[in-house]
Each structure stands twice: as C-alpha cells, then as structure tokens.
Amino acid sequence: MTENTILKIENLNVSFKLNKKIFYILRDININIHKKEKIAIVGESGCGKTTLANTILLLNDEVITDYSGNLEFFSTKGCCKKNKYELIKQHKFLSKDEIKHIRGNHISIIFQDPFNALNPVVAVGKQIDEVILNHHKEYNKKEVYNSTIKLLEMVNLKEPELVYKKYPHQLSGGQIQRICIAIAIANKPEIIIADEPTTALDADLKDSILKMLKDLVDKETSALVLITHDISIIKNYVDYIFILYLGEIIEAGKTIQVFENPLHPYTQFLLSCYVDATKKGKKLPTLPYDPINLYDKNFIFKKCIFLNRCSKKIKKCETLKPEVFKIESQKVKCWLYE
C-alpha cells in the first residue's frame, strides 16, 4: 500500500448462505487500487467478478452474505468528514445516506446490461439530472440541465438536447451504454467499476466504447476497474490485470508482462484462446469439464482450484494448496514457481 492507494482489499472472503449450505464465492482476495490506475479483473462466467464489484459497492444481499477481511476506501475528494471507510468492518453501521454518498459520488458502477440499468419510463436526460442533483443539492434547474448536456457531449452523443428528451427504448444499445457511462462519471467518482460494459454491444462498438471510457477516466482522473470474461479486449486499456478463477486470484501483474509472459497454466490457456490474425483458421484449445462445488471445503481450501483441469500438475499439487509466488512484478498462485 502507498499514499496513492484509494482502495485496499486485503484477505477478502465472501460467502453466501443458501439452503443451509455455505458457498465460498470469493477467497483471499488481495487488490490495491491507486489513484488514476486502470485495472482489469478477468475470468470466466461464474468466477465471482460481479460479486467482487457488488462487494466494493455493498450491493450484496445482506441476508445471505458473510464477509471477512478488509475492504478500505480512502476518499481524496474532501467532500465528507471521513477520509477512510472500512467497508467490511463498518458496513452494518453505515447509514443509508452514507452508503448512497459512497455510491455515485466516490465509487460508481456501469452494469453489464445497460437496458436494465435505466428506468424505462423516465427520459434519459432526467435520469442523469437526478444523479447530479443527488450530490449537488445546491445546483439550480439550469445548472443541472447544463451539466447533463455537457455529459451527453462528453460521451459523444450527437444532438444532446434531443437525446435528453428520449426514453431508453428510443435509443440503441450503444447510445444507452453511453448514457450509463455519463451517469457513472457524472459526479467525478474516484473509482469507476465497469462490469462487462461491452458484452451486450455489437462487436464494432466494443472498441469505441472502451476507448471512450478510458479517455473519460483519464480526463476525470478516476481509477477504473474493468471487469470482463474476454481477455482479448483489455490489452490497450488497463495498467494491471488480475486473473480470477473460481473465486481466487491465480495471477496478477502488469498488463504487458501478463500478455508477454503468462505464468499460471490457466492464464496461458486464456491467452492461447485469444484469436488474433495469426491464429485464424487454427483449432482453439479447450479445457476438460470440471464442475466444482463452491461449498466443497475439502477441495476449495485444501487443493489447487485449477487441479482437475491442469495439464502441468506435479505431485505436490495433489496434496497441498499452492501459495502465492512473486516473479518480478507478477504474482502467481501455482507450485510451478516455488
């Protein structure tokens, strides 16, 4: 941790209690996010990416969720009395207003499905107005409207005055996601979490939306947490990558290093599936099917989480859970690097 750290996630565990069983969804998560840094959380569907985003924003269902570890947010905006929130330790004591203040003003999220993120019966401009007003009660009507128009321009929507009056169903998927990005940046949060922001969009739109998001994040000096199942889309947009596999970070490192020298067998697999011009026409690798129950404590806490799919396993892997090893700036949870 340095003086530029704005989010510190330390030994975080998140479990859900369902039908009298405990599902250990996230285990021993360690991530530091620094001011203006852009990171990606990458992993296949069901590995816990959205749960991690929801945990940072305290959006998990309180009734079924249990936490341990540390999740600390350090505010740099000077708008509230506190400059440090211990989100896991204090979440039960934070008032609704405090949580609302953190969400949107300090940390905001762009959801995977932009259509569900907006209210279908309210004009999109009004929805942006509302977010601005929530955090700028001192603004008059004209100031709010002008701020919204400026945001619509920033997300490259043409004829912003016309777009302001439209309802979500009158806009395309790309336009709606731009509105969601406008909402996320409206109050210049220190951290923007984008949970699969391009999954619902056509292929030709993905790159332009990600480029715009990166440029806006840079301009507003926010940090970005880009969540995706698709490692191929992030290379040009983030400084640091965390590979999540079934609830554990199995590799982390600078983007260039992970792409050039993936260490963990799972990261190597992910990158070997990355279709570029040189691989077109070639058969892509596959992994054997391996259903693991997230309530199976004997497997999850005692063995390598990738064991049954790993073609590089050694004897030790069968009996001991791997530690995290540091190879230059990369970290990898695998016995091959002991």
Bridge partners, residue 242, by sequence? 41, 252
Indicate which single residue of 7, 8, 12, 16 sits in contact with ligand ADP (rule: CB under 6 A).
16
29: number of Cβ within 10 Å: 22
328 CB burial (10 A radius; 0-12, 13-18, 19+): exposed
Residue 246 Cβ vs ligand ADP, minimum distance, rounded to whole Å: 8
- Name 303's Cβ contacts closer than 8 Å, sequence gap at least 6: 317, 318, 319, 320, 321
Selection from ligand SF4, Mg ion, ligand ADP, none that 197 binds (CB < 5 to 8 A by kind) is none
What is the spatial distance between Cα 217 and Cα 223, in angstroms, rounded to a whole number?
Answer: 7
Distances from the Cα of 186 to the Cα of 150, 175, 256, angstroms: 10, 16, 31
Site for ligand SF4 in 291-310 (CB under 6 A): 304, 306-307, 310
What is the spatial distance between Cα 38 and Cα 260, in angstroms, rounded to a whole number?
Answer: 19
In the complex with ligand ADP, the residue whose CB is nearer, 16 or 164, is: 16
Selection from ligand SF4, Mg ion, ligand ADP, none that 18 binds (CB < 5 to 8 A by kind) is ligand ADP
Selection from ligand SF4, Mg ion, ligand ADP, none that 1 binds (CB < 5 to 8 A by kind) is none
Selection from ligand ADP, ligand SF4, Mg ion, none that 307 binds (CB < 5 to 8 A by kind) is ligand SF4
Binding mask 44-83 for Mg ion (x = CB under 5 A): -----xx---------------------------------
Residue 71 Cβ vs Mg ion, minimum distance, rounded to whole Å: 19
Per-residue burial over 232-253, b if 16 or more Cβ lie within 10 Å, else e, is ebbeebbebbbbbbbbbbbbbb
Residue 16 Cβ vs ligand ADP, minimum distance, rounded to whole Å: 5
Interface residues with ligand ADP (CB under 6 A) are: 16, 18, 25, 43, 45-51, 61, 294
